[in-house]
Every structure is written in C-alpha cells, then in structure tokens.
Structure 1
Amino acid sequence: MAPPGPYSGSSTLALVARTSAFTFGLVYGSLKLKYLKAKEKSHKKAEAKAHH
C-alpha cells in the first residue's frame, strides 16, 4: 500500500492545511463583517450630519 500523499485527506499535512484554511476563512470573514458594519455606521453618521 502506498503512503498517503499530501492531499489524500488522511495525511497530517492535509489536515493542517484544511484546518488553517478554515480558520483563516473564519477570521477573514468576521473581520470583513466588522469592517463593513463600521463603514456602514460611519456612512449613516455622515448622512445624518449632512441633513442637519
């Protein structure tokens, strides 16, 4: 039987790669969401100021 390749799914490298990619995705997604929410908030503030 051949040893598992790096992307066979059963090797440690593949597991670590998948886990870190998943973690990166979660972190990136939450940061992007925070950024968009903050941007929206400041945009609404600027809009409110412009009306007064």
Structure 2
Amino acid sequence: MALLREQGGVRTEDEDRVGDLDRTGHTLSAEWDEGAIGTETYARFRDRQPA
C-alpha cells in the first residue's frame, strides 16, 4: 500500500509511506517499509467499546 501525502493541496513526497497491510479479525495493521518505522494497528470504529 502507498500513502501519498499532501499538505494544503501541495504534495509532500518526503512524507509518503509505503508498506504492507494485514487484516486480522477486526483490526488492520500497516507495517511500514518506507517513510515510517514500525507497525501501526487500527481497530474498526464500530467495534470499539464506548469511552
């Protein structure tokens, strides 16, 4: 997956990210290869517990 970034309508190529996505159950993980280090994990919004 590629995440192409822009700010104020102007492309900011130095902030682009490239990585792999993995879906497990109700979570989505992005393991970044370029532009960021590590893995970010997201839970489906409607599956979250109320605060």
For Structure 1 versus Structure 2, the TM-score category normalised by the shorter chain is: under 0.3
Q: What is the TM-score normalised by the length of structure 2?
A: 0.16
Q: Which has the larger radius of gyration?
A: 1
Give the TM-score taking structure 1 as reference length.
Answer: 0.16
Structure with greater proportional strand content: 2
